[in-house]
Structure 1
């Protein structure tokens, strides 16, 4: 059965489940909850780790070196039991190693380690992917955290996403769960986007490049969350229409393109990791009260 560990300091506490190494709660010392609650009436996820793919594969089938394997949307890590390998009062590390079950759908010897660590009002989530195999290993890695919308004590206020780089990145949309590569005009104006649930009637808003390494999600004149991304060049924003959460999703890898190859190595932003190598990805979210 999955177990949950709590880490924290005098400012914030974080709960993490061994199932998927998924964060379950992010709470400040004033009792306010910032993470989505996982209400299954809308979406049962809270902060899944996406590996070895981000998004969908055509017909949920993935080709690796010409061999076809079944692969569900966002991969298998989020449904896998991780081992807790280290913990302190303010951090915890979970690991998922290759097994007979994973090799049946992803034929590589890998180690995926996920660490949650708090410092002050900030949480950093780090994923390290190690290739223990004798061949290059393709994969995608993404984070999918969902936060309250509206934020605590911000009901009725306009909510915005503001890019640190003040960019206006091109938008792409999904077509049957796959990327339609035709770029659309950016919804950002000088890095600022005022959120509206109608924006998500066509599913996620995906920005393959140009969103930069940081952003602020906040309520006008109210609370906010400040993000920083490491080695995560793709960004998605997602919710379900009228659902009270917003997913801020930094990725290294996206869904396959509609009409393109099902080969994992040919998916956009796929990482090709050399034998014996390790790749690191991380995001930090800080509560700005």
Structure 2
């Protein structure tokens, strides 16, 4: 387990999956991150790579060969190497290997960098293509936050998620686990969205950002604690809590990619929301979380 700390926060990140597992306030000892109670969801903040969401039949095709990969890909279940570290920052690295190439026949290097400054934790994804062929991938975060936060005796329904800019966003609904791309809709965030578990009856609420900056803020009127997730260039952001389980957490998920379209034909190069990275090129994506 890697620890970062400053005068405001202490942060723990597991080398397994490069997964953020804890963020605590130094003074109040408030734990902001969901603690992976398997009764509801046994993860904290997994990395989604090289796909986001689910594939039809957990399969895809590339160059006339069929590969199997389960939801959200394999990076979250791999051990990363720590390739740089200071008291307030760390870089984790994962490269392709014999096991990964069975599921994903591409050369890659994935670097995930965490940097703590004041009450803000920045997360950067860097995908490099060291080969002489294009690679195809998606990537995303899945951080879960305790609700309620702090010593409040409140409930899930006392919290809201606000968006900045406060506007109506394009949205995609999920049909089962798949993206209903033929029936786009909207989500009105001119006012904060009040949380209740029934919101997630049909899975995540998905805002289509198209790489426009946005901030989603989780707060209540019960105390001063909350979190704000700021995205500079994400394709989408999902808001999710498991249903029908009345779980005491919510995830705010920055995505550069999304689940297969309902009518996907399985060709990875044509997958909805896929990123193509040219030979010797590098892809950068980042987001930050402010804890207050």
- TM-score bracket, shorter-length normalisation: over 0.9
Q: State yes or no: 1:156 paired with 2:154.
A: yes
- From 58, 76, 79, the equivalent of 1:78 is 76
2:261 is aligned, of 254, 257, 270, to 257
Runs (5+) with no aligned partner, structure 1: none
Cα drift, residue 191 of structure 1: 4.9
SS at match of 1:104: helix
Equivalent position of 1:13 in the other structure? 10
Q: Distance in 1 between matches of 2:63 and 2:235?
A: 25
Using the size of structure 1 for normalisation, the TM-score is 0.93
CA distance in 2, matches of 1:46, 1:174: 23
Pairing 1:207–2:207 present: yes
Deviations 1:200-239 (A, max 9, x none): 1221112233684222111135322122113212011111
Asked if the contact 2:12–2:22 (Cα under 8 Å) also holds between the matched residues in 1, the reply is yes
Q: TM-score, normalised by structure 2?
A: 0.92
| Partner-residue secondary structure (3-state), 1:7 | strand
Q: How does 1:95-106 map to 2 (within 5 A)?
A: 95-106=93-104
Instruction: Name the CA distance, whole Å, in 2 between partners of 1:8 and 1:123.
Output: 11
2:231 corresponds in structure 1 to: 229
Query: Whole-Å Cα distance in 2 between the matches of residues 189 and 280 of structure 1?
Result: 28
In 2, Cα distance between the equivalents of 1:155 and 1:269? 41
Specify whether residues 174 and 220 from structure 1 end up closer, same or farther in structure 2 by C-alpha distance, changes over 3 A only: same
Between the aligned partners of 1:41 and 1:179, the Cα distance in structure 2 is: 27
Report Cα offsets for 1:228-251 as digits up to 9, x if no partner: 113212011111131011000010
How far apart, CA to CA, are the structure 2 residues paired with 1:87 and 1:57?
Answer: 35
Could you tell me which of 46, 52, 55 is aligned with 2:53? 55
- The answer as to 2:171 corresponding to 1:171 is yes
How do 1:36-47 residues align onto structure 2 when only pairs under 5 Å count? 36-47=34-45
Task: Name the residue aligned to 2:110.
Answer: 112
Aligned equivalents of 2:71, 2:175: Cα separation in 1: 14
Confirm or deny: 8 A CA contact 1:163 1:212 kept in the other structure.
no
Change (3 A) 1:171 1:220: farther
RMSD: 1.6
The alpha-carbon distance between structure 1 residues 286 and 189, as it changes in their structure 2 partners (threshold 3 A), is closer
Secondary structure of the structure 2 residue equivalent to 1:170: strand
Distance of aligned partners of 1:155 and 1:80 in 2 relative to their CA distance in 1, 3 Å threshold = same
Q: How many residue pairs were aligned?
A: 284
Structure 2 residue 281 is the aligned partner of structure 1 residue 277 = yes
Which residue number in structure 2 is paired with residue 28 of structure 1? 25
Separation in 1 of the partners of 2:283 and 2:169?
25
Whether the aligned pair in 1 keeps the contact of 2:88 and 2:117 (CA below 8 Å) is yes
SS of match in other structure, 1:162:
strand
